Chain A
Amino acid sequence: MSQHRQSATHKQSSSPANVIEVCEVSKRFGTVTALDGVSFAVRRGLVTGMVGPNGAGKSTVLRVILGLHRPDTGRALVDGRPYRDLSRPLTRVGSLLDASALHPARSARSHLRWLAHSQGIRATQADRLLERVGLASAARRRCGGFSLGMRQRLGLAAALLADPAAVLLDEPFNGLDPEGIVWMRELLAGLAAEGRAVLVSSHLIGELQQVAQHLIVLGTGRVLADAPVAELLTAQGPERADLEGVYFRLTQNAVRYQSSNAWRQA
């Protein structure tokens, strides 16, 4: 434990650009090892992509960062502190874990307003964010009737509500139409350009291809790669500048849920 603390302090002092640091985090659920010594940092001003097959541990590591899961060993820090010690956490880290986590009878505006109250920020922020994510016209509608794409937009508004230094988004492209995907990429690039640390998870490497500058590849609970996108592409060789190829090479032995070959051949 003391070892982890030391390394965290060391990393923080050496890299003030790291808003989020995950240090040697392991987490088991029963017999399943969800995370196995995961370490990485999320830096200011970059979009960091986190990719990996289903079951790689992407959602689990996000929950560990947000203090929703306690790691068995290791620790996750936000601004050098555990998330649970933050007094108004949404002003430090905005997150979107599950766009469907809404009360269906509550309006989009009410959803953002209670979040604003919980952080002691002005409730008028709710309307500004709804405007920003393009939901102003649906502000007073019950979000039970929202499409997945609209829920993603609302979730993004919630994540950005308190103007956080870091943004964690779990599969934000799910349910978006092509126009929405382009919009989301531009928004993520804009957030990074504003100096925020942006961590985006996805199981589809293609979604991240044009927006992430840094990539963390997870497979069966381990970090398989943690490098700038440019570096990964260079390593692949000049003839195949394709992230998908990099991804499959990295994860070929680290897939937890795989269809059987027999099925593939058939």
Chain B
Amino acid sequence: MSFLHQLRAEWAKFHSVRAWILAVLGAAVVTAALGPLNLSTQHAPSGGPGPTLVRGPDGQAVNDSFYFVRRHLAGDGTITARITELSGITVTGPDRVSHEVQGWAKAGIIVKQSLTPGSPYAAIMLTGAHGVRFQDGYTHDTAGPARTVPCWLRLTRSADTVTGEESSDGTHWQRVGSVRIPGLAADAPAGLFVTSPSTVHVAAIDVPQTNPAAAVATFGPVALTGAWTPEPWSGAQFGGLGTSGDYPPGVDGGFTGNADAALTVTGAGDIAPVVGGSVLGNGATVEGFVGGTFAGLIALVVVAALFITTEYRRGLIRTTLAACPRPVRVLGAKTTVVACLGFTAGTLGATVAVLAGHHIADAHGIYTVPVTTPTLLRVEIGTGVLSAAMAVLALALGAVLRSGATAITVVIVATVVPYLLAVSPGLPTVAAQWLLRVTPAAGFAIRQSLPRFAQVDSSYIPPDGYFPLAPWAGAAVLCGYCVVAFTAASFLLRRREV
């Protein structure tokens, strides 16, 4: 009961200082506006609008790009092939090319639900460095034995179930994976595929670089059983090149030879989820839309710290403690006020920023990396959580230090500075990642929207939006700092005389 009285009193104190209310409104406005405004100054990449990203079955952005040598399987059936060679063509420098194959170059057998990019599929494949894999749905990756050439692969379709097997000798088979693809078309496109992502080179300090790469695979005799349509094999690059594939200069996708003897296929691209980093190019991201959070946070930090330090400066703290002689209750009420205001300003600002950002990106022909609804909500609510936590940290430090300028400086040095250092190129990656693990700046992880997958190489480093901690783990680190600061403030408020 009495806590509610104090809460009401602290809220009345807060809203009766107009500058503080304006600062909170300002925080919401800059959170909403700065990201989209920054975007509106950008222009679409030369040569017209950028590529439209393909969405996979879960709604997330995927790459569905490979060289496809196909026929149609109009019912149950199998396809068996031996891979005798897998090599690559990789650009290693100006006018220099090697035959190195990318670790996640893929050559194998695929069945797709339809010829629409982004449609469900299942595939068994040999990779450049990660052995045999069975993959489906763009994000699911099942490891098989760590084989190299030669090896045998087989894909079996039975109604809407697709099973991948592999063998080292063509006689003893081992199942790698199996998946149901609901709604698999009666005559599903199926056949051989080869694809290779571009190289990603993450140096310790330099800006990550990508170079075009293709893969070349030779398939031995291809054996078909079941309901295959009577047509010749046809080959084409499927789904463009996506965000992470590029043919080296002078190299094109294609196939030569005969399926009954040997077929050599060259391909580039990837069948995988889109990730951020150097492979993403000029796309807009959801966390880019909420880039104005920074300015908003600074306003909130200032107000939250002043909310308590002005009471010390003016001697008002005595009036407050005479009215409520329980210092922790006072601190709790103040904390609740700034946390609620921070959360509301952050969440509202981020929600508007995301809407405006999408709108402006579309208007400027910049593609936005699609994210799932839970991710979008996490970014929006996470911005609120981040704002609330920063406000609480500033308030608690204000109570500890009793000086607005000192508290504000400490909070900014402890959070904004490590964040800016970590996300600007120039700091060694390891140092950047430690900064984002152990400082309150870890909390910014809550806003990362770009996914990370083991089966996709990219520059998963802070400047590209990848934090060393998972979103809520990062938020937990920041909240841990808040708890420590609140506890210290409670202890000191109880002990100190005013």
Contacts and interface: CB of A to CB of B under 8 A. Distances in A.
Interface of A: 63, 66-70, 83-84, 86-90, 95, 97-98, 100-107, 110-111, 113-115, 117-120, 158
Contacts of B18: 105
Contacts of B310: 103
B497 A70 contact: yes
Contact of A115 (B9, B311, B497): B9
Interface of B: 1-2, 5-6, 8-10, 12-13, 16-19, 310-311, 314-316, 318-326, 497-498
Interface centre among A83, A87, A107 (most CB of B within 10 A): A87
A86 B319 contact: no
Contacts of A110: 12-13, 16
Contacts of A104: 314
In the A-B complex, the 3 residue pairs with the smallest Cβ-Cβ separation, listed nearest first, are: A110-B16, A118-B9, A101-B315
Contacts of B497: 63, 68-70
B13 A68 contact: no
What does DSSP make chain B's interface, helix, strand, loop or mixed?
A: helix
16 contacts: A66-B322, A67-B322, A68-B322, A68-B498, A69-B497, A87-B2, A88-B2, A89-B325, A97-B322, A103-B316, A106-B16, A106-B17, A107-B16, A117-B12, A118-B324, A158-B319
Nearest to B315: A101
A103 B314 contact: yes
A63 B13 CA distance: 23
Contact of A117 (B8, B17, B319): B8
Given A118-B6, A120-B2, A68 B321 contact: yes
B483 to A, nearest CB: 25
Contacts of A119: 5, 323
Contacts of B319: 97, 101, 115, 158
Nearest to A93: B322
A100 B319 CA distance: 11
B315 A67 contact: no
Contact of A105 (B5, B12, B19, B323): B19
Residue among B310, B319, B325 facing the most chain A CB atoms (10 A cut-off): B319
Contacts of A87: 2
Contacts of A66: 318, 322, 325
Contacts of B322: 66-68, 89-90, 95, 97
B2 to A, nearest CB: 6
B13 A106 contact: yes
A67 B325 contact: yes
B142 to A, nearest CB: 62
Contacts of B324: 89, 118
Given A105-B18, A118-B5, A67 B321 contact: yes
A68 to B, nearest CB: 5
A86 B322 CA distance: 10
